[in-house]
Structure 1
Amino acid sequence: DIMDVNARFESLETNPALNQVMAPNEPVALITMSADINNNQSFMNMCIPYISVEKYIDKFVIQYRNQSSPTVSSENKKNIESDISDVKVDACVELGTTNIKIKDFINLNIGDCIKLNTKVGETLDLCIEGEPHYKVSPGKIGKKIGAQIVEIYSKDVDNHE
């Protein structure tokens, strides 16, 4: 054990903007825990000012700083994939952008055309949750507008095994 702690609940602040008890640039120890309450599992963060643990810092060793395992078992990976496979995400294809004057915006009518920054036949970005992940070509699927994936971005996306 590193130190004995006697904890008690005093209050709960749900708006972190209202709960500032130290300078914004003050170093802190951030502890993330998994909490299981009434079969609902979630994470809890505890933020402790450095000055509160400074006298105990020499008792910390590497094994206490990070107890999480760097590897995930294949069973855990399958469980996670199963849990998130039905989660819906926002997907959007943007045809293009432009800048217009407010007077032109106010006077827009049905049938008006707006020149965009993209060219006909040019690939477009398919964004997932606001981040571009694919290049697509617009088209038609039955009676609906569709998009065919022509390129996959590899940035910030782990390869699926």
Structure 2
Amino acid sequence: MSEVLSQNEIDALLSAISTGEMDAEELRREEKEQRIKTYDFKRALRFSKDQIRSLTRVHENFARLLTTFFAAQLRTYVEISVVSVDQLPYEEFIRSIPRMTILNIVEARPLDGSLLVEVNPNIAYSMMDRLMGGWGASVNKVTHLTEIETRILSRLFKNALTTYKEAWSNVVELDFTVTDFEVNPQFLQMVSPNETVVVISLSTTVGETSGMMNVCLPQVLLDPIISKLSVHNWMQNSQKELLPEEAALIEQKIRKTPLPVSVQLGTAIMNVEEFLQLNAGDIIQLNKKINQPLAVYVENNKKFMAQPGKAKNRMAVQILEQIEGDE
């Protein structure tokens, strides 16, 4: 936004131009030079703001689901939130993460290529300590992970990918699978160094330990679904109609949902003294006559009128009419 000058500043500027202290042509040249922006082709912006916003929504949903998943698995306080969504060269991303860290290489079928989920060692060891019955202490010894530790961590993150699939479901159906587990990013060459990637940084707190998780999405992976990352497509998918078989399945499950049904024979009013003197065999007179219909309640809502009777030697009621009213 252009800076708005006060009247005094405008008067001083006009005075400087009129007295020759400032050259108007020089001001025009400076303004023209300021319009030129340096463009770094190594940091080419391949994704629009609209697409970045869609990716942010997906991963905000992922952060919420992942928080619930880890809290249930680790039985401790967990908080995960999206800090930033940036597009940068793959080489720059590799340089920005720790020299030794937890790297999960993940396939996203049916897309070609892989994405990368990087977990800070402090967070990873805190999670593993909780899984093994500890208090969630973090000891960074990622350089010599044992086979058992590797198996525990890889299984934990593999199970966590179910939440990632759910987070993407409003955009596209993807099936995520962990294909490799690495600790040194220098040995990992997923794409060319100058390839543009989208890096989603997640601030993660497990108990008293805090750190970062990063999801790295290469451009080549997202190219086939880039058109689905628009707000228009997002809104369409979120409001799509149910398929007939989906509606039938939902109706079937609703029909099998149990509901409490009760019949009120009548009511009576008595004081506390009379209530305390009740004994087995006493008769309580209700406010209903034997030929009056009874009220049938469904979930404490009066829905029908019925008459009492027997069916196969069991007490029963016969529905006489439905009470019209709010559903």
State the TM-score, normalizing by the size of structure 1.
0.54
Equivalent position of 1:68 in the other structure? 239
- How big is the alpha-carbon RMSD for the aligned residues of Structure 1 and Structure 2? 3.6
Given candidates 44, 62, 78, the residue that maps to 2:248 is 78
Q: Give secondary structure in 1 for the equivalent of 2:273.
A: helix
Pick from 247, 261, 265 the counterpart of residue 91 of structure 1: 261
CA deviation profile, 1:64-120 (whole Å, cap 9, x unmatched): 6xx535x65533321112122222211100111121101110111122111222221
Percent of matched pairs sharing the same residue: 25
- What secondary structure, in the 3-state scheme, does the structure 2 residue paired with 1:82 have? helix
Structure 2 segments unaligned to the other structure (5+ residues): 1-49, 68-76, 79-161, 167-233
Deviations 1:46-71 (A, max 9, x none): xxxxxxxxxxxxxxxxx96xx535x6
1:40-59 equivalent positions in 2, closer than 5 A: none
| Aligned residue number for residue 134 of structure 1 | 304
1:120 pairs with 2:290: yes
How far does residue 39 in structure 1 lie from its aligned partner after superposition? 9.4
Which letter maps to 1:127?
Y
Partner of 2:184: none
Q: Deviations over 1:106-153 (max 9, x none)?
A: 111122111222221111111111112211111111221100011112
Equivalents in 1 of 2:290, 2:305: separation in Å? Answer: 15
Relative contact order, higher structure (CA 8 A, sep 6+): 2
User: SS in structure 1 opposite 2:295?
Assistant: strand
Structure showing the higher strand proportion among its residues: 1
2:23 matched residue in structure 1: none
Where 2:288 maps in the other structure, the secondary structure is coil
* TM-score after normalising by structure 2: 0.29
Once the two structures are superposed, residues 7-45 of structure 1 have per-residue CA deviations (whole angstroms, 9 ceiling, x without a partner) of 566x67xxxxxxxxxxxxxxxxxxxxxxx74999xxxxx
Q: Which runs of 5+ in 1 are unaligned?
A: 13-35, 41-62
Q: Helix, strand or coil for the counterpart of 1:125?
A: strand
Separation in 1 of the partners of 2:164 and 2:305? 44
Larger helix percent: 2
Distance in 2 between residues matched to 1:149 and 1:142, nearest whole Å: 17
